[in-house]
Amino acid sequence: MATALIVLAAGQGTRMNSDLPKVLHPLAGVPILWHALQAGRSLDPERVVVVTGHGAAAVEASVRAYDPDATCVRQAEQLGTGHAVAQAMPALAGFAGRVVVLYGDTPFIHPDTLQALIDSPAEVTVLGFEAADPARYGRLVAAGDRLDRIVEWKDATEAERAITLCNSGVLAAEAGLLAELVAGLGNDNAAGEYYLTDVVGAARARGLAARVVTCPEAETLGINTRVELARAEAAFQARARAEAMETGVTLQAPDTVFFSFDTAIGRDAVIGPNVVFGPGVTVESGAEVRAFCHLEGCHISRGASVGPFARLRPGAELAEDVHVGNFVEIKNSILDEGVKVGHLTYLGDAQVGERTNVGAGTVTCNYDGVSKHRTVIGREVFIGSDTMLVAPVTVGDRAMTASGSVITGDVPEAALAIGRARQVSKPGLAVKLFEKLKAEADRRQKKVR
């Protein structure tokens, strides 16, 4: 069955006490909203509509960064969830499949749960959960999986508040029916809002079937405060660490490793303590990432080792058996098989050939203040310690640079390049200079007194 998504992301999130829209707060390295979009993507939807409101421009930019094909519509006034869905329906004109309504601040709904909503035979299907502490959740008044109505806590009787089957807010219905139901909603309730939950009663009044699909409460975790955001982060990390170890990854100190929402690590990889993964990282089987590394937007191949205390930035590509050591930063650079970059080095916008050794303190000077430039280093090259490679520059295969050189021109294959001033020694000048400096310091001290 064809599916579409409506993702509600218009709320201000006042309890976050932040200028940033609630759905843009980071969770596992990316906005909370991306997690909801990722969950919905498991249904392979034909259309995705995101309803924005507070901070709409920023939210819409984030949506485009994740899914350029998604449609954003604005809810100028926040008049309730039913009103928000009504704003989205024109963007689904001509769509005849099933629509799933998700929330941008509810990141953990499992793909199997969403599929169960789609597979339900009822005209309207709502996602519910048994709450350990029902608190102020809306209640599902049901007999088995047959749903009679949804009652918001504000409008519930004492008997209805005793129900522990709670409403997640997520529901599924055929597009045409959903459009009709939300168009007929009223706002005669304690909050004066148009509740999406009222579509259940409206459907039942037509003699249509409504059902409940249930899931664990953890899947329905909504994020409204900084405390809930921290809990969500902890829940995500705990699950990600467990999944990594179950698939054969060694985490030497699991509680200190932090994953992003899309981190991919192969079997028999070893991850040391205090490693942080940003978005877009792939680590192949058998690679090792040592302690205190920060990785984002990079690829580490089989047999490579990174760290400790290394940083790989977006565009870093490490081939098999590459070694990147301590206090090395790699950005937008390709290191071919067997390259060694031991320590205290920056490689940006570079291509480094097989089995090349890059000495300590090497820097590719890739930025002239306006534009970035590329450095190309060939195969089996020896780059001496403290070499400055001023891009654009090319060093040929099997060439060498002398330690302390500033390389501003291309180095031919097999050549030795020396780019430093001749050393000059002045006998006795060091003692004279120190005596002069000491005398000046003494004079300054006497003036202070």
Say if domain 226-417 classifies as CATH 2.40.30.10.
Answer: no
| CATH number, domain 3-220, options 3.40.718.10, 3.90.550.10, 3.20.20.80, 3.40.50.300 | 3.90.550.10
Please give the mean pLDDT across all residues of the chain: 95
pLDDT of residue 204: 93
pLDDT of residue 276: 98
Q: What is the pLDDT of residues 2-35, one digit of tens each?
A: 999 999 999 888 999 999 999 999 999 999 999 9
Residue 421 has pLDDT above 90, yes or no: no
Query: Is the whole-model pTM more than 0.85?
Result: yes
Here the tokens at position 47 are 């259309």
CA distance 33 to 27: 9
Residue 23 has φ and ψ, to the nearest 5°, of: -70, -10
**Interacting residues of 176 by C-beta distance below 8 A, sequence separation 6+:** 96
CA angle 341, 346, 352 (to 5 degrees): 55
pLDDT of residue 322: 98
pLDDT of residue 422: 87
Here the tokens at position 369 are 């203040």
Q: What is the pLDDT of residues 136-151, one digit of tens each?
A: 889 999 988 899 989 8
Q: What is the pLDDT of residues 263-289, one digit of tens each?
A: 999 999 999 999 999 999 999 999 999
pLDDT of residue 447: 81
Pairing between β-strand 340-348 and β-strand 294-295 as defined by DSSP bridges: unpaired
Residues of the chain with CATH 2.160.10.10: 226-417
308-347 as b/e: b if 16+ CB within 10 A = bbbbbbebbbbbebbbbbbbbbbbbbbbbbbbbbbbbbbb
Phi-psi region of 76 (alpha: psi -120 to 50; beta: other; left: phi over 0): alpha
Residue 311 has pLDDT above 90, yes or no: yes
Residues of the chain with CATH 3.90.550.10: 3-220
CA angle 91, 65, 175 (to 5 degrees): 20
Q: Determine the 3-state secondary structure of 408 from DSSP.
A: coil
- Give yes or no for a contact between 324 and 305, defined as CB atoms under 8 angstroms apart: yes
* C-alpha 380: how far from chain center: 37
Q: What is the pLDDT of residues 163-217, one digit of tens each?
A: 999 999 999 999 999 999 999 999 887 788 898 989 999 999 999 999 999 999 9
Residue 319 has pLDDT above 90, yes or no: yes
**Which alpha helices (H) appear in 248-369, and where do they start and end?**
none
pLDDT of residue 396: 98
Name the residue with tokens 């994020």: 223
Q: What is the pLDDT of residues 53-98, one digit of tens each?
A: 999 999 999 999 999 999 999 999 889 999 999 999 999 999 999 9
Residue range 373-399: mean pLDDT, rounded:
98
Confidence of residue 154 (pLDDT cuts 50, 70, 90): confident
CB atoms within 10 A of CB 433: 11
Confidence of residue 423 (pLDDT cuts 50, 70, 90): confident
Residue 135 has pLDDT above 90, yes or no: no
* C-alpha 136: how far from chain center: 31
What stretch of H or E contains 189? Answer: none
Q: Kindly list the distances between the CA atom of residue 60 and the CA atoms of 3, 64, 424, in Å, as whole numbers in the listed order.
A: 22, 6, 62
pLDDT of residue 12: 84
How many distinct helices (H) and strands (E) make up the chain? 9, 35
Q: Kindly list the distances between the CA atom of residue 75 and the CA atoms of 33, 86, 426, in Å, as whole numbers in the listed order.
A: 17, 9, 77
The one-character DSSP state at 320 is: T
- Give the up-direction half-sphere exposure of residue 205: CA atoms within 13 A in the CB hemisphere: 8
CA distance 258 to 116: 31
Which of 196-200, 302-306, 324-328 has the lowest average pLDDT?
196-200
Residues tagged active-site: 343
Here the tokens at position 249 are 């990854």
Pairing between β-strand 139-143 and β-strand 146-151 as defined by DSSP bridges: antiparallel
Here the tokens at position 362 are 């090497």
Residue range 304-308: mean pLDDT, rounded:
98
pLDDT of residue 180: 95
Count, residues in the chain: 449
> Taken in order 127, 129, 134, 139, is the CA torsion positive or negative?
positive
What stretch of H or E contains 235? Answer: helix 226-246
pLDDT of residue 192: 85
pLDDT of residue 96: 93
CA distance 439 to 442: 5
Q: What is the pLDDT of residues 94-110, one digit of tens each?
A: 999 999 999 999 999 99
pLDDT of residue 78: 87
> Taken in order 8, 9, 10, 12, is the CA torsion positive or negative?
positive
